[in-house]
Chain A
């Protein structure tokens, strides 16, 4: 491994982005390894399908790599990468005609999408049930919850991710949490 990439844990994302901009593929590789899990969870939160989420993350990183010169550092690389992934996920769903999954009609059928008692017996773990319930919430609520709980993003960062203000991000998070608590009772 080259000296510049030795001890990659100590190298900041900003430095790696700079190196990647100058054509250092290995620097970008480290960024991929650091942030692909967060990006994957964002993609899964929006698409709700593992195979589509994997494609989305792959495409998002390719696009990010090409657009790296345009990364201005207004937010952290991780937040930027998660935002690129979220946009890619929405675009993919639109192309596949599945964007309507987040529509008002789906919210209306919330109860019928909950697992039936037999299914619940199989899903012994409450955590699995909680995740399934999370999937029934509107996109911005589940994305806000996932980003806050899984990734530890601040509400300001979540606002960037979902294209809302910080206040709206908080409302989406707490509205979703309250809804989940009702559903889990």
Chain B
């Protein structure tokens, strides 16, 4: 183990690879990497990903600056305080939102988002786990801290739950 476990090393690998960590930590990680093929392999993947990092268009900053300059400046309005129409407009919006919420058939809403597998979720927040079971943020967000830690131990290895 060389004084540090895999989970801690894997936590630091992106910072180690980009030289964002303290020198003494760097030495510890280097020492661990010499004897840990698994962490070495993950470091190589991180290096590959960083090497392939997409190039930023050269003129993008100029384009953004020009677009921002030509957009409406916020302080022109804010100095005059809230608009006299602000309160009535807000009242109308609230009334509309409440009205829609009350009048809409709730069963229809539920039907909109229930999938064939009978789970209430946004498809963008789902993926298949390695064992082909459905997984995703929906489940992650609802897990207790203890369960999250168990999942991290499974993903990162022993030592992840700190």
B49 touches A127 (CB 8 A): yes
Residue contact A32 to B148, C-beta cutoff 8 Å: no
Would A25 and B64 count as touching, CB distance under 8 A? no
Q: In chain A between 110 and 157, which residues have their CB closer than 8 angstroms to a CB of chain B?
A: 125-131, 134, 137-141, 145, 148-150, 152
A148→B56 CA distance, assembly (Å): 18
Chain B residue, CB-CB nearest to A53? B54
CB contact list, A14-73 vs B, under 8 A: 21-23, 25, 28-29, 32-33, 36-37, 40-41, 44, 50, 54, 57-58, 61-62, 65-69
- Flag whether A102 is at the interface (Cβ < 8 A): yes
What residue in chain B is nearest A102 (Cβ atoms)? Answer: B124
Interface residues on B, range: 35 or more
Q: Given A125-B52, A131-B49 in contact, is the A22-B148 Cβ separation under 8 Å?
A: no
Give the distance to chain A from B140, nearest Cβ to Cβ, in Å: 4
A9 located at the interface, meaning its Cβ lies under 8 Å from any Cβ of chain B in the complex: no
A36 near B45 with CB under 8 A, answer no
Contacts of B73 on A, CB cut-off 8 Å?
Answer: 23, 25
B34-50 Cβ-contact flags toward A at 8 Å (1 or 0):
00000001100111111
The answer to whether A140 touches B53 (Cβ under 8 A) is no
CA distance A98 to B32 in the complex (A): 44
Please tell me which one of the listed residues B75, B134, B156 contacts residue A22 in the complex, with CB atoms under 8 A apart. B75
Asked whether any CB of chain B lies closer than 8 Å to the CB of A75, the reply is no
Cβ of A145 and Cβ of B155 under 8 Å apart?
A: no
Do A127 and B48 form a contact, CB below 8 Å, given A138-B136, A152-B18, A177-B42? yes
Segment 59-104 of B: residues with Cβ below 8 Å from A: 60-61, 63-65, 67-69, 71-75, 78
From A100, A134, A174, name the one whose CB has the most chain B CB atoms within 10 angstroms. A174
- Indicate if the CB atoms of B141 and A104 lie closer than 8 Å: no
Q: Which residues of A approach B to under 8 Å, CB–CB?
A: 21-23, 25, 28-29, 32-33, 36-37, 40-41, 44, 50, 54, 57-58, 61-62, 65-69, 99-100, 102-105, 107-108, 125-131, 134, 137-141, 145, 148-150, 152, 164-165, 167-168, 170-172, 174-175, 177-182, 184
